[in-house]
Amino acid sequence: MQRKHIFALIAILIITTMALAACGGSKATEAPKPAENAAATEAPKEEPKPTEAPKPTEAPKEEEAKPTEAPAPAESDVKPADEIVVYNWSDYVAPEMYDMFTEQTGIKIGEDNFSSNEDLLAKLQGGATGYALIVPSDYTVAIMIEEGMLEELDHNNIPNLKNLDPEFTKLYYDPGNKYCVPYLWGTTGIGYNTELLENPPQSWKGIFEAKEDDPWYGRMTLLDDVREVFSAALIYLGYDNNTKDEAQLDEAKNLLISAKKAMAGYDTDNYEDLVGAGENLLAHGWNGDFLQAADEYGNIDYYIPEEGGTIWIDNMCIPKGVTPEEKLAAEMYINFVLDPEVGAMLGEYNYYATPNKAALEIADPEYKENPLVFPPPEIREKLHFIKPLGEFESVYQRLWDEVKSAQ
């Protein structure tokens, strides 16, 4: 009995120490190892204003550095919120992740979903609150930073930033990961039902100029996503997928309008299930969604059409307006996602590519070597990022409205 008590006591001590470390005790243990924070402290050096860079990591000077936030308690007094809500794409976490985080930290996670960057942006611009973490793609991060919609991250609370592949610390839209941390990246192409369709169209021509006797005529969908759909049409037409040339855009719009009769609809939420279930034969969509559905239905394959497709990086960011407690809890969650085991579990489950180098090192070879998750160079060179277009974004939106409302 005595021995049991001693063991129980030791176990409690170990668990308490681990829990403290997870709850920001990590700050104390990280401090003597500045090298570990290399990604966080080195990357900002590349920015044009080196004097500004150290601010986010110098916690003790924070009260002086942020006069507008004077009433906020000193960072060390802040306790994480009991619960936060993540505003995320659907099917974008491994099922056990939120529970694991709650077990480790006591913080509960709720999730709400959006279907496109434009939905996310409109919702936040419309004043939605209550989300402590959002997951916008690259070009939308650029827009949100520009519009002052994001909190700066406190890198002291995210020691696992050191696990990021250095490539992902130098991104054009957020060098030094001042505002966001890359979550997963992927591609947009075509998924199809391998049982019902032997030869899917290799060119976008088969999609945008489908003939009535093509088996997929009327049994395919396009994403309900302005920039993705215009990118696909522009890439097919041989134009820059971020063009500001209105004649080219008009041509793309007309192509999309004439293609409508061959579409079962625009869908961002269920398209992969409709293909798996055989209701549709193919769909425009995201690689990981199709590959997850392939696990479920066993009859889906994915490819990038010969003219090319898009590539994107989604990111974890904290919207302005959160409480200090929610911000700390969200930073702890970001740190959790950056854990190598968690990162590997996430990518292996949902078939999107992890930007976490330490996760990749321990990940299953089947995942790391899957060319549909990590495209080889000959495919990679055909993939294009969607870029932020500033004011011009509204032109795409107007043309998209015309496409959507055309008969």
Site for ligand N2P in 273-292 (CB under 6 A): 286, 289
Non-local (6+) Cβ contacts of 307 within 8 A are: 203, 204, 235, 236, 238, 382
- Does position 115 interact with ligand N2P (CB under 6 A)? The reply is no
Comparing CB distances to ligand N2P, the nearer of 105 and 116 is 116
Q: What's the min distance (Å) between Cβ of 139 and ligand N2P?
A: 11
Sole window of 37-45, 90-98, 199-207, 368-376 interacting with ligand N2P (rule: CB under 6 A): 90-98
Site string for ligand N2P, 298-327 (x = CB under 6 A): --------------x-x-------------
Q: How far apart are CA 67 and CA 139, in angstroms?
A: 30
Comparing CB distances to ligand N2P, the nearer of 210 and 316 is 316
Residue nearest to ligand N2P (CB): 89
Neighbouring C-alpha atoms within 13 Å toward the C-beta of 345: 14
Q: Which residue type is seen at 277?
A: A
Neighbouring C-alpha atoms within 13 Å toward the C-beta of 45: 6
Comparing CB distances to ligand N2P, the nearer of 91 and 273 is 91
Q: What's the min distance (Å) between Cβ of 268 and ligand N2P?
A: 8
- Does position 208 interact with ligand N2P (CB under 6 A)? The reply is no
Q: What's the min distance (Å) between Cβ of 288 and ligand N2P?
A: 6
Q: How far apart are CA 281 and CA 194, in angstroms?
A: 8
Comparing CB distances to ligand N2P, the nearer of 26 and 374 is 374
DSSP assignment of 15-56, as one string? Answer: HHHHHHIIIIIHHHHHTT-GGGGHHHHHGGGGSS-TTTTTGG
Sole window of 53-61, 84-92, 94-102, 321-329 interacting with ligand N2P (rule: CB under 6 A): 84-92
Non-local (6+) Cβ contacts of 256 within 8 A are: 208, 229, 230, 233, 403
What count of other Cβ atoms lies within 10 Å of the Cβ of residue 377? 6
Q: Which residue has the tokens 């827009």?
A: 143
Q: What's the min distance (Å) between Cβ of 150 and ligand N2P?
A: 18
Comparing CB distances to ligand N2P, the nearer of 179 and 185 is 185
Site string for ligand N2P, 223-262 (x = CB under 6 A): ----------------------------------------
Q: What's the min distance (Å) between Cβ of 104 and ligand N2P?
A: 25
Exposed / middle / buried, residue 199 (Cβ in 10 Å: 0-12, 13-18, 19+): exposed
Q: Which residue has the tokens 């407690």?
A: 325
- Does position 90 interact with ligand N2P (CB under 6 A)? The reply is yes
Q: Which residue has the tokens 């007094």?
A: 77
Comparing CB distances to ligand N2P, the nearer of 75 and 272 is 272
- Does position 89 interact with ligand N2P (CB under 6 A)? The reply is yes
Which residues does residue 353 pair with via DSSP β-bridges, in sequence order?
A: 185
**Interface residue list for ligand N2P (CB under 6 A):** 89-92, 137, 286, 289, 312, 314
